Amino acid sequence: MGTGSNALKVGIFTIAGALLVMAAIATVRGGGIASIFGATGYLVKVHFTGEAVGLSKGMPIRLKGSDVGYLAETQFSNENQDVVATLRIDEDIRIYERARVEIREEGLLGERYLSFVYPNELPEQPIWATEDHVFEGSSATGLASLIASANNVLETLDELLSDQSLRDSMTQIADGITDSLDRVNGIMENVDGIIMENQGYIKESMANVEAMSDNFLLLSQNLQEASVAVRDLSTDPKNKEQLSLIMANIESTTKNIDSMSNEINTLLSDPMVQADLKDSVRLMPEVLQETKNTMAGAQETLERLNEVLESADGMVNTATWAIEDVSGTVKGLGGIGEGIQTRGSVDVRGVDLNTDDRLNGDDVYVGDINFAVGNESNYVQVGIDNIGEGDDLNLMLGIGDLRGFSFRAGIHRSELGVGASWWDPAGIGLEATLYDLNDPKFNTYGHIPIGDSVDVVIGVDDLADEAVPTLGLGWKW
Per-residue pLDDT tens for 426-463? 889 999 999 988 889 889 999 999 987 899 999 988 87
Backbone φ, ψ for residue 247 (5° rounding): -65, -35
| Distance spanning both ends of the chain, measured CA to CA | 97
Average pLDDT over residues 63-74: 94
Ramachandran region of residue 33, left (φ > 0), alpha (ψ -120 to 50) or beta? Answer: alpha
Please say if the pLDDT value at position 317 is more than 90. no
Please say if the pLDDT value at position 39 is more than 50. yes
Please say if the pLDDT value at position 133 is more than 50. yes
Strand partners, 470: 351, 459
Please say if the pLDDT value at position 273 is more than 70. no
Closest CA to 261 of 230, 298, 295, 216: 216
Instruction: Give the torsion sign (CA, 69, 72, 75, 77).
Output: negative
Distance of CA 1 to CAs 5, 8, 15, 130, 391, Å?
6, 11, 22, 58, 99
Ramachandran region of residue 161, left (φ > 0), alpha (ψ -120 to 50) or beta? Answer: alpha
Closest CA to 418 of 434, 429, 441, 406: 434
Q: What is the pLDDT of residue 303?
A: 73
For residue 365, give the H/E element and its range: strand 364-374
Listed in order, the ranges of the chain carrying CATH 2.40.160 are: 336-477
Share of the chain above pLDDT 90, in %: 24
What's the chain's average pLDDT? 75
For residue 7, give the H/E element and its range: helix 2-29
Number of Cα atoms under 13 Å in the Cβ half of residue 169 = 18
Q: Which of 78-87, 153-162, 348-357 has the highest mean pLDDT?
A: 78-87
Which residues have C-beta within 8 Å of that of residue 66, sequence separation ≥ 6? Answer: none
Tell me which CATH code domain 336-477 carries: 2.40.160
Per residue in 51-68, pLDDT (tens digit) is: 788 888 999 999 999 999
Per residue in 137-176, pLDDT (tens digit) is: 987 655 555 665 656 656 766 676 677 776 676 677 667 7
Please say if the pLDDT value at position 319 is more than 50. no
Distance of CA 167 to CAs 171, 172, 244, 311, Å?
6, 9, 63, 12
Question: Residue 134 and residue 12: Cα distance in Å, rounded?
Answer: 45
Q: Which of 230-239, 309-318, 391-400 has the highest mean pLDDT?
A: 391-400
Per residue in 255-270, pLDDT (tens digit) is: 766 676 677 667 667 7
Q: Which of 106-110, 324-328, 352-356, 358-362 has the highest mean pLDDT?
A: 106-110
**445-449 contacts at long range (C-beta below 8 A, 24 or more positions apart):** 445/470, 447/474, 447/476
Q: What is the pLDDT of residue 350?
A: 84
- Work out the angle between the directed axes of helices 313-334 and 271-311 (0-180°, nearest 10): 110
- Work out the angle between the directed axes of helices 143-161 and 164-197 (0-180°, nearest 10): 80
pTM of the model: 0.33
Strand partners, 45: 86, 134
Band (335; pLDDT cuts 50, 70, 90): very low
